[in-house]
Amino acid sequence: MTGNKYMKRALELARQAFDNDEVPIGAVVVDNTTGEIISEAYNLSQHSLCATAHAEMLAINEACQKLAANRLRGMDLYVTLEPCTMCAGAISFSRIENLYFGAYDEKGGAVENGVKFYEASTCHHKPNIFGGIMEKECSEILKKFFKKKRT
């Protein structure tokens, strides 16, 4: 599956987060016509001291800035973990076309778990959703991180 190259990049970003003692989640915004990576980020909520600095938010905000647009039509988002409620909302607002995510998140996810935002009547743009891509690798790095945190 060609798309995996972007999830691999998101996973590399998650590894960088891990090495920087951040929650290892990576995200990449890709132009689905040209294949160009427009923006990429990893979770920075610890180091940036910003509660909202999730990988998806940072990547979306950077893509909006780079493209000088508040709608990211024709753009796809790859993220290593199922987006939370906040990020699911941001993905919808920014009109991301296709959402590819890695691990499922029973505790905090909002796509297949929790509020399942994209099925709600208050969701006005639903991306196409592809979950469980490279799930094992995306999940393992998170497990490793939280195991390290507990010891």
- Catalytically active residues are 56
Closest CB to a copy of itself among residues 12, 74:
74
Closest CB to a copy of itself among residues 11, 17:
17
Q: Please report how close the Cβ of residue 39 comes to a copy of itself at its closest, in angstroms.
A: 12
Q: Binding residues for a copy of itself, per CB under 8 A?
A: 45-46, 48-53, 57, 60-61, 64-65, 68-72, 84-90, 92-95, 107-110, 113-117, 120-124
Closest CA to 143 of 24, 43, 26: 24
Contact in structure between 127 and 99 (CB atoms under 8 Å) = yes
Listed in order, strand segments (DSSP E) in 46-134 are: 75-81, 98-103, 128-130
Q: Please report how close the Cβ of residue 124 comes to a copy of itself at its closest, in angstroms.
A: 7
Q: How far, in Å, CA of 106 to CA of 82, rounded?
A: 9
Task: Return the CA Rg of the chain.
Answer: 14
Closest CB to a copy of itself among residues 1, 68:
68
Q: How far, in Å, CA of 67 to CA of 7, rounded?
A: 22
Q: Please report how close the Cβ of residue 82 comes to a copy of itself at its closest, in angstroms.
A: 10
